[in-house]
Amino acid sequence: MINVGLIGLGTVGQGVARLLTERREFLARRLGTDLVLKKVAEINPERRAQANLKPEQIASRDRDILDDPEIDIIVELIGGTDVARELVLEAIARGRHVVTANKALLAHHGNDILAAAARHEVDVAFEAAVCGGVPLILALRQGLAANHIQEIFGILNGTCNYILTQMSQQGMSYSQALAEAQQQGYAEADPTLDVEGIDTAHKLAILVSLAYCTPLNLEPIAVSGISKLDPLDLQFAGEFGYAVKLLAITRNDGSTIEARVHPTLIPRDHMLANVSGAFNAVYLTGDAVGPILLYGQGAGMMPTASAVVSDILDLGRNLTRGVKCRVPPLGCNAALESPRQIKPLDEVVTNYYIRFAAWDRPGVLSQISGILGKHQISIAAVIQKGREVKGAVPIVMITHEALEANMRQALLEIDQLPIVSPPTVFYRIEDPHLHAAQI
Amino acid sequence: MINVGLIGLGTVGQGVARLLTERREFLARRLGTDLVLKKVAEINPERRAQANLKPEQIASRDRDILDDPEIDIIVELIGGTDVARELVLEAIARGRHVVTANKALLAHHGNDILAAAARHEVDVAFEAAVCGGVPLILALRQGLAANHIQEIFGILNGTCNYILTQMSQQGMSYSQALAEAQQQGYAEADPTLDVEGIDTAHKLAILVSLAYCTPLNLEPIAVSGISKLDPLDLQFAGEFGYAVKLLAITRNDGSTIEARVHPTLIPRDHMLANVSGAFNAVYLTGDAVGPILLYGQGAGMMPTASAVVSDILDLGRNLTRGVKCRVPPLGCNAALESPRQIKPLDEVVTNYYIRFAAWDRPGVLSQISGILGKHQISIAAVIQKGREVKGAVPIVMITHEALEANMRQALLEIDQLPIVSPPTVFYRIEDPHLHAAQI
């Protein structure tokens, strides 16, 4: 018999409690032994009352779970980083295995937590922290473990993908789409963590560590979100054959690693371009396996609970066999001791979409392209439309590969031109076909 | 140190030998101990000579591997069912853990093999047997283990998907597309196992067992392949908004299980409709997690080797920790003892695409629809084209849900009509939108 203690009866906690309670027999058949939800701690008395649990299962204090010597696995589902950190570290110190869905906790304090887990020889599992119910962590830690991961593109935040889908399919503005997402329960009242790309960056930090056997490191990940996106740019992107997605991108060029989160133009026939609504997907390339796509629900009560319970089962299998730390949490034994360099954004080379608002006078294009050329940026395609944006006309360009630092410098200079109405808008493109020819 | 013995240096065997040799250090970092390709047995002397192996690694007889007491894991990659069966059973009897990519072996002799493995307490791993490098078995056995699997739709054979892609995108006939596939190395000289759906059925048998905790059983799986497909039907399907894919389908309706392989019409906006070329993909639904898609290369040297080596690593982790049989091969402990009923094809209810070749006379449609109606088959849509097929005109129908037995009986009667030129062609449709309304 394996005893589970659950801390936090929010949406995901309720889902986990339901799965463990309602399919106890089914899970016992999988595991070969009974899996018991022994105790649940929740400070909110309403949630405690609503949960379909026996009185002896309910505790009001986390301590009741930490202090129970019969509990084998502690599931942390309270969210946040401060209390959760204390809780998880104490659980580890007491020799309990831990399951968490908390990406913010891992992105900020993951190294401390995993180092503590190694010292105390306990497991910390976090399948639910990235892509909800999609078994992505399992794939990176085990299924694809024979590969050098070359790159990962991820749609890791359902809120952003829902908003972008509404903007591109319904022509909504960002604020309309956000309001719609809030109404549908896909966005929180304060959507900052989601729409500014922060949640996506938390998840990317975890993926970078798993893919490249390196400590968790949020700090060097360049992040921009979707709140400034103009439907006009979705429309122009479409005219060039691109969809716009908030992507988490990481790539290994052999020496350094790229890690960035930003709205990205991808070809409309790319599999990620067709991931719509609140779904998540990860498109990754391993040097042996080639491209792999994993797709599914990245959030929500039952999809996330599915991942949490799969972790509980996995730890349960260890407990019944008397083993622990069978697979290192980041897939590699020495991951915490071998930090890899993350390339600063300025050194990234990519293709760009640029939209200038320019006064429609002779020589505009030549002045702009002159400055771009001076900074080694060559143009792959241009659209100039009659439409006026605040009196100026939009000129939209797709560039060949250019260095981010050069692009930023060129745009600084271009935005000084009297014929241009700043600020110029630019987005990065990921399109393997563009890498080939130059105009 | 973990010693691996490899039997068979065909395409996949060469890939496995390469991975184990070329990235020995990388794999040791993952595993925490050295993974040694101790011996390789291959009867073909040319292949032995070509392999980049040390002389002491090379054996000409399987026995040299079976007899080596230092070998921990035996990898069977010779293919076929007879010799492979003997080999695997003997390896198990000698207490060796086994990795195989052999879906035919598992579909035909899997129960004997897994029962022997249970008796001798060894592991049998087969990630590479379905969807090549895609970590699908891992997902079903572990990542999604908290779910009741409701249905699985799989594109499991790259040869068929390549041929269908060529037929639908290039308008090729079946035989042109097959010739093209053979030229590109996607189809064998004798393509029967692939194009007749047999390989897909082998893989589906494995998925059914994993999804529903039931013994392997190939026999009740209804199978039809793609060799009779007329490009005309791909074209008409397209006019109704459908793509045609060879799908492996399994579904649990609560009491019995469907399991069938056949060309299937799916909505063009379904994620599987956009899986083209030699790629594989599985779209499955779990009751907690919802829909999941896994996509990648289902065959080829390195993708398949990636899966084989991930199995070797997993068994290696067990060996270094002194555990075995941590996860039952079919994900459930009692899978071999609890056979589930597979529904006969005649009892399946689905939507149909039917193409009649009819003489263009008044009353044709009324006679046909009269017979369909008599058998409780109602029509959702009809196209009648002026084009002549051998003197007759094609009439194409999409039906509402109907019982397979009724459909077959109705078509038997319709094919007797003097106004119809038999045989009438029909394909099954999987389209959730069609389930709703009746005309």
pLDDT at A439 over 60: no
Q: Which domain CATH number covers B71?
A: 3.40.50.720
A66 and A106 both lie in a single domain: yes
The per-residue pLDDT for B390 is 63
Phi, psi angles (nearest 5°) of residue A217: -155, 100
Span A300-324, mean pLDDT? 97
B313 and B273 both lie in a single domain: no
A153 and A98 both lie in a single domain: no
A340, part of any domain: no
Residues of A within 8 A of B212 (CB-CB) are: none
A313, part of any domain: yes
pLDDT at A153 over 60: yes
How much is the mean pLDDT over chain A? Answer: 95
d(CA A328, CA A325): 6
- Report residue A388's pLDDT band, with 50, 70 and 90 as the boundaries: low
Catalytic residue among A203, A228, A324, A390: A203
Closest to B304 measured CA to CA, from B65, B86, B136: B136
Closest to B311 measured CA to CA, from B60, B102, B87: B102
Q: Which domain CATH number covers B389?
A: 3.30.70.260
Across the interface, whether the CB atoms of A289 and B274 are under 8 A apart is answered no
Confirm whether B54 is a catalytic residue.
no
The per-residue pLDDT for A167 is 97
The residue in chain A having the minimum alpha-carbon distance to the alpha carbon of residue B25 is: A146
Percent of chain A with pLDDT over 90: 91
A109 and A148 both lie in a single domain: no
Tell me whether 0.90 is exceeded by the ipTM. yes
Phi, psi angles (nearest 5°) of residue B354: -125, 135
How far, rounded to the nearest angstrom, does the alpha carbon of residue A76 sit from its chain's CA centroid? 20
Check: CB of residue A305 under 8 Å from CB of residue A19: yes
A16 and A84 both lie in a single domain: yes
The answer to whether the Cα torsion of B140, B146, B152, B154 is positive or negative is negative
Across the interface, whether the CB atoms of A303 and B318 are under 8 A apart is answered no
A178 and A230 both lie in a single domain: yes
Across the interface, whether the CB atoms of A306 and B147 are under 8 A apart is answered yes
Instruction: Supply angle C-alpha A378, A379, A383, rounded to 5.
Output: 165
A35 and A103 both lie in a single domain: yes
A387 and A357 both lie in a single domain: yes
Interface with B, mutate which of A20, A99, A147 (most B CBs under 10 A): A147
pLDDT at B411 over 70: yes
Across the interface, whether the CB atoms of A138 and B134 are under 8 A apart is answered no
Percent of chain A with pLDDT over 70: 98
B121, part of any domain: yes
The per-residue pLDDT for A438 is 41
The tokens for A257 are 């690693």
Which of B29, B148, B294 is opposite residue A332, by nearest beta carbon?
B29
The tokens for A229 are 């996106």
Phi, psi angles (nearest 5°) of residue A237: -55, -45
Span B236-264, mean pLDDT? 96
pLDDT at A387 over 90: no
- Per-residue pLDDT tens for A363-373? 889 999 999 99
Q: Which amino acid is at B59?
A: A
pLDDT at A146 over 80: yes
- Per-residue pLDDT tens for A50-93? 888 999 999 989 999 999 999 999 999 999 999 999 999 999 99
d(CA A344, CA A405): 10
Largest CA distance in chain A: 80
The per-residue pLDDT for A362 is 80
Q: Which domain CATH number covers A268?
A: 3.30.360.10
The tokens for A91 are 């659980």
Check: CB of residue A39 under 8 Å from CB of residue A106: no
Phi, psi angles (nearest 5°) of residue A151: -155, 155
Burial of residue B158 (number of CB atoms within 10 Å: 0-12, 13-18, 19+):
buried
B148 and B252 both lie in a single domain: yes
Minimal C-alpha gap between B232 and chain A (Å): 25
The per-residue pLDDT for A251 is 97
B361, part of any domain: yes
Residues of A within 8 A of B145 (CB-CB) are: 30, 309-310, 313
Q: Which amino acid is at A100?
A: T
The per-residue pLDDT for A131 is 97
Tokens 């590699």 locate to: A332
- Per-residue pLDDT tens for A283-306? 999 999 999 999 999 999 999 999
- Per-residue pLDDT tens for B136-160? 999 999 999 999 999 999 999 999 9
Tokens 């040097």 locate to: A287
CB-based contacts of B433: which residues, under 8 Å, 6+ apart? Answer: B267
Across the interface, whether the CB atoms of B142 and A289 are under 8 A apart is answered no
- Per-residue pLDDT tens for A188-234? 999 999 999 999 999 999 999 999 999 999 999 999 999 999 999 99
Check: CB of residue A298 under 8 Å from CB of residue A131: yes
d(CA B125, CA B128): 9
For A399, the enclosing helix (H) or strand (E) is strand A393-399
pLDDT at A427 over 70: yes
pLDDT at A437 over 60: no
The per-residue pLDDT for B438 is 41
Span B117-142, mean pLDDT? 98
CB-based contacts of A235: which residues, under 8 Å, 6+ apart? Answer: none
The residue in chain A having the minimum alpha-carbon distance to the alpha carbon of residue B330 is: A30
The tokens for A215 are 């400590």
The answer to whether the Cα torsion of B26, B27, B29, B30 is positive or negative is positive
Domains: count for chain B: 3
pLDDT at B389 over 70: no
Domain that holds residue A233: 142-297
Bridge partners for A425 per DSSP: A355
Interface with B, mutate which of A148, A212, A292 (most B CBs under 10 A): A292
Cα of first residue to Cα of last residue in chain A, in angstroms, is: 67
